[in-house]
Amino acid sequence: MNIITLIKISWRNVWRSKLRSFVVIMSVIFGILGGIIMVAMSYGLNEERMNNAVETYLSHIQIHNKSFSEDYNIKHTINNLTEIEKAINNDDRVTSYSKRIILNGMLSNSNGSYGIQVKGINPSEEIKVTNTYNKIIEGEYFKSKRVNTILVGKKLADRLNLKIKSKVVITFQDENNELISLLYRVEGIFRSGNSRYDEANVFVRNLSIAKNLPNFSGFHEVPILLTDIELKDEVKNELIPYSSNNIVESWDDISIDLAYANEMLGAVLYIFMMIILTGLSFGIVNTMLMAILERKREIGMLMSIGMSRYKIFLMICFETIFLSLVALPFGLVLSYFIVEYYSVVGIDLSIVAAGLENFGVGTRLYFKLPNEDYFVVAIMVFIISIISSIFPSVRALKINPVEATKTI
């Protein structure tokens, strides 16, 4: 009996008990479907969190003075800014950039005080780098003719009971370490999707800071947006030589926890998928053991008429593998269409919006799964099916043909 004949026999044996085989195949299909959907949701959540951070406050690259990154002292502005701007403007990989004045201070009103970071911006430049202007839920984005207007986050507004046109005072240290207090009026309230960011950051016009600090000049931060996030390291390395006193960082240098989560996600999800498939393998093994017990007399007869134990082993292996391989394409195709559908439509999670904002995630979840991951899942299913086939096959070899043929 050659291998082709053995495969044909194994295939026919799978369908001798159609109901049992159908139940196993459906369990594998739903196992693959459930695993891939969970992986796609995790990828989607992680990408949403990363994109929200990049588009809201990180950008692809940021430039600071090295000393400013250590102590946030107002006097440590970016060195050689003119040459850096020239290089950025001549780089086709750069979509846009802006220049910010950064202050650490205290925002106060009659309801209390709260420590915040003030971002002094040029609204016409900042609108090209971040999406804060799209996140305004009350008021406007710097359309007032007044210079001393401020944008505050929704979480901060709730904490201090701020409304549109509310007055607030920002207190900070100038370059001589003297306290300066500036009066602002709330022009807009934004909700970025990250409640911790909304609570600790406010935006003002950089002119409102500069005119009150006559001895101050320069900028503390230059966020840069690129045509492709994958170019970040390449552009970063080219900007580093322009000044030894500055530090050039990509988004993953600034937000290490976000970068680490992004890096580890793939490995963790593969482990998660392997756990699901391993659980399914126990069901396959159990089904095949039941089939072997039911066919004990048959297997004994095959051994009695000269079928080698090696071929018995292969026959049971093929039967077990076929159960998984039949389910595999159905599981992958069904998963693919569901993931593609929800990658466009998304799932509304507004019911848990408050909890998601604590993690910097929006209220609509879009599935995402790289195409190569389907191939990886297929390989994992194939490997699990091979491993699952070993125990039932070994159990079949332990059947005594003399005793088996006597059973009824």
Task: Using 70 as the pLDDT threshold, list the residues of the chain that sit under it.
Answer: 1, 350-363, 402-408
Give the number of other CB atoms < 10 A from CB of residue 164: 13
Cβ-based neighbours of 341, under 8 Å, separated by 6 or more: none
Write down the pLDDT at residue 392.
83
Is 100:153 a contact under the CB 8 Å cutoff? no
Name the CA radius of gyration of the chain, rounded.
32
CB 395 within 8 A of CB 289: yes
Tokens matching residue 217: 């000049």
Q: Convert the pLDDT of each residue in 201-255 to its tens digit.
A: 999 999 999 888 888 888 999 999 999 888 898 999 988 888 778 999 998 888 8
Q: Say what the pLDDT of residue 267 is.
A: 75
- DSSP characters for 3-57? HHHHHHHHHHHHTTSHHHHHHHHHHHHHHHHHHHHHHHHHHHHHHHHHHHHIIII
Domain boundaries, the chain: 3-54+258-406, 58-254
pLDDT, position 1: 57
Parallel, antiparallel or unpaired: strands 112-121 and 101-109: antiparallel
What is residue 157's predicted lDDT score, i.e. its pLDDT? 93
pLDDT confidence of residue 329 = 92
Strand 179-190 and strand 149-153: pairing?
parallel
Residue 55, pLDDT score: 82
Element (H, E) at 173: strand 167-173
Both structure tokens of 66: 């090295």
* pLDDT at residue 273, as a whole number: 80
Beta strands in 198-348 (DSSP E): 201-205, 222-226, 246-250, 347-348
pLDDT of residue 334: 94
- Which of 372, 380, 374 lies closest to 280 in space, CA to CA? 380
- Burial of residue 334 (CB within 10 Å: 0-12, 13-18, 19+) is middle
Q: Would you say 146 and 140 are in contact if contact means Cβ atoms under 8 Å apart?
A: no
Beta-carbon contacts of 154 under 8 Å, excluding residues fewer than 6 positions away, are: 137, 189, 190, 191, 195, 198
Look up residue 119 and give its DSSP letter.
E
Round to whole Å and give the CA distance between 363 and 361: 7
Indicate whether this model's pTM tops 0.85.
no
Q: How distant is the alpha carbon of residue 266 from its chain centre?
A: 10
pLDDT at 205: 94
Rounded Cα–Cα distance for residues 279 and 71 (Å): 52
Model pLDDT, residue 72? 85
What tokens appear for 143 in the block? 């359309």
**Are the C-beta atoms of residues 356 and 349 closer than 8 Å to each other?**
yes
